[in-house]
Amino acid sequence: MSVTCIVLIKGLVLIGILFLSAAYMTLCERVLMARMQLRLGPNRVGPFGLLQPIADGLKLLTKERFQPDNIEIFTYWLAPAISLFIALAVFMLIPFGDPIEIFGQTITLWIANVNVGLVFLLALTSLAVYGVVLAGWSSNNRYSLLGGLRGTAQMISYEIPMGLSLLTVVLLAGTLNLSEIVAAQKDHWFIWTNPLSFIIYIITAFAETNRAPFDLPEAEQELTGGYHTEYGGMKFALFFLAEYVNILAVSALAVTLFLGGWYGPGNIPILWFFLKVACVVFFFMWVRATLPRFRYDQLMSFGWKVLIPLATVNLLLTSYLVLR
Amino acid sequence: MKKKFLQVLAMLRGLLIVLKYAFKKPITIQYPEQKRKLPVISRGRHILTKWKDGKERCVGCELCAIVCPAQAITVRAAENKPGEEHSHGERYAADFQINMARCIYCGLCEEACPTGAIILGNDYELSGYTRESLIFTKDQLTEKNPGDCGRDPNREI
């Protein structure tokens, strides 16, 4: 089998896993939120409501295809695709485990082993803002425009502390390659070496994925739907999938960079990876059920006046201690 | 600085409280399968009650129809003929209809009734496919046997 073929198969399997887990994350989130609010949550479709995501998907797929008047047609249709594409593209860099042997062939459990992986990853995630801003701008709606503007400001502002906190990991590991970063954490996870970086990263991850308490771009109560107000049916579903795949992406990245990747007791590397990702994802849902939304000025002043100085000082201290 | 620290601490405590609630029993119930036992004084579907001897309490005074703010009640009174009395008074309700689509379940009819004939029961599952099915007639409203509604059939009001 040629190398291209293997990579294609790996990509398809990964996309399948991602879509399925994103669909079931919606169910998981709804049930968790319900339990935290003393409700029961969806439990009617199938046993324990397990078929609920499929019912939702069918509903969204069979909805009428519409587009509002006076929109920028090309960008309007392009924006959800950009969102989902960027969210999925992040995953080609994430290593899931050590290379394994299948049918006498060595299969690496990552799609691309880029030697400047982290820089490439930051470049990809900063493209994600285009999905939001183009959707907000092209749909010719005030709510959408406001959501898009907020999203742009928020994602660009929080990119800086995220990058700064990731640089500390690069300093500690001495490499930009993600699988080598994981290998550097075999005995000692970077969350224990530098917990402040991890906290800053998690906070910015919330902002980058537009999740509560930083869900200003789609703030239901203020902006009806924010940047995806004018989107319905499968176009909306693409945004929705992109949001959940994004959560998976930032969780996988947190696991890769701070929580020791696939290392853990016992010989179950891939399972450890998924377990850790599931824990981080649970944290995302838990926070959503707890914290109220930030005000826009609070968000901005928190990002620029607290996180960026903190991340900078953290980076300087780490580099002093590492390079001393 | 100390204030900010306390605020962050409060956020973390909030997270723990929410996690604690995740392990409590949900207070919502599976409605169509599980039904809540309503308190006796809750106001639902009307019932026309009877005396202990099986005679209707309603004397056809139409006070309920007059007091009804939604004008949901229609009463057509008729004189009791000697030998076949329906009620203890001179008149009785020959026809008694309540439009459940109009009724607001305020309970004023129950308060206005001088004989305690009309009471509001606990049945709240009132829905139908047609408007006609929501107009309840006297047969549907009247209790079959004295005391079926749960009230003492010997009471004065």
Rounded to two decimals, the ipTM of the complex is 0.73
Instruction: Report chain A's mean pLDDT, rounded to a whole number.
Output: 85
Task: Find the range with the poorest average confidence among A161-175, A264-278, A287-301.
Answer: A264-278
Looking at beta carbons, which residues of chain A come within 8 Å of B32?
none
Residue B108: pLDDT band with limits 50, 70, 90? very high
CB contact under 8 A, A291 and B11: yes
Pairing mode of beta strands B118-120, B46-48: antiparallel
Which of B15, B24, B30 minimises the CB distance to A290? B15
Residue A197 lies in a domain: yes
Instruction: Pull the structure tokens for residue A291.
Output: 């914290």
Q: CB under 8 Å to A188, separation ≥6 — which residues?
A: none
Looking at beta carbons, which residues of chain B come within 8 Å of A286?
15, 18-19
Q: What is the pLDDT of residue B67?
A: 92
CA distance A276 to A63: 36
Of the CA atoms within 13 Å of residue B53, those in its CB half-sphere come to 6
B13: nearest CA partner in chain A: A290
Mean pLDDT calculated for residue range A132-158: 86
Buried b / exposed e over A187-211, threshold 16 CB at 10 Å, is: eebbbebbeebbbbbbbbbbbbbbb
Mean pLDDT calculated for residue range B32-61: 86
For the cut 70, the answer to whether the pLDDT of residue A1 exceeds it is no
Residue A2 lies in a domain: no
**Of A290, A294, A298, A302, which to mutate for an interface test with B (greatest number of B Cβ within 10 Å)?**
A290
Q: Is A305 on the interface with B (CB under 8 A)?
A: no
Residue B69: pLDDT band with limits 50, 70, 90? very high
B15: nearest CA partner in chain A: A290
CB contact under 8 A, B14 and A39: no
CB contact under 8 A, B18 and A290: yes
Provide the Cα torsion A275, A32, A283, A232; round to 10°. 100
Residue A298 lies in a domain: yes
Q: What is the pLDDT of residue B68?
A: 92
Mean pLDDT calculated for residue range B135-140: 88
The whole domain housing A172 covers 66-323
Residue A47 lies in a domain: no
Q: What is the pLDDT of residue A113?
A: 79
Which residues of chain A from 2 to 41 reach within 8 Å of chain B, CB to CB? 32, 34-40
Helix (H) or strand (E) holding A167: helix A142-173
CB contact under 8 A, A291 and B14: yes
Residue A265 lies in a domain: yes
Q: What is the pLDDT of residue B129?
A: 92
Q: How confident is the model over B84-107, as pLDDT tens digits?
A: 888 888 888 888 999 988 999 998
Looking at beta carbons, which residues of chain A come within 8 Å of B14?
290-291
Which of A39, A286, A290 minimises the CB distance to B28? A39
Q: What is the pLDDT of residue A104?
A: 67
Looking at beta carbons, which residues of chain B come within 8 Å of A284?
none
Instruction: Report chain B's mean pLDDT, rounded to a whole number.
Output: 87
For the cut 70, the answer to whether the pLDDT of residue B18 exceeds it is yes
Instruction: Give the count of beta carbons closer than 10 Å to the beta carbon of residue A34.
Output: 18
For the cut 70, the answer to whether the pLDDT of residue B79 exceeds it is yes
**Of B5, B8, B12, B15, which to mutate for an interface test with A (greatest number of A Cβ within 10 Å)?**
B15
Residue A225 lies in a domain: yes
Counting the structural domains of chain A, the total is 1
Q: CB under 8 Å to A88, separation ≥6 — which residues?
A: A15, A18, A245
CB contact under 8 A, B15 and A287: yes
Mean pLDDT calculated for residue range A310-315: 90
**Cβ pair A304, A157 in contact under 8 A:** yes
Tell me the residues of B at the A interface, defined by beta carbons under 8 Å apart.
11, 14-15, 17-19, 21-22, 24-28, 30
Which domains does chain B carry?
A: 46-141 (3.30.70.3270)
Residue A200 lies in a domain: yes
B31: nearest CA partner in chain A: A40
For the cut 70, the answer to whether the pLDDT of residue A315 exceeds it is yes
Q: How confident is the model over A21-72, as pLDDT tens digits?
A: 888 888 988 888 888 888 888 888 878 888 888 888 888 888 888 888 888 8
Looking at beta carbons, which residues of chain A come within 8 Å of B1?
none
Q: What is the pTM of this model?
A: 0.80
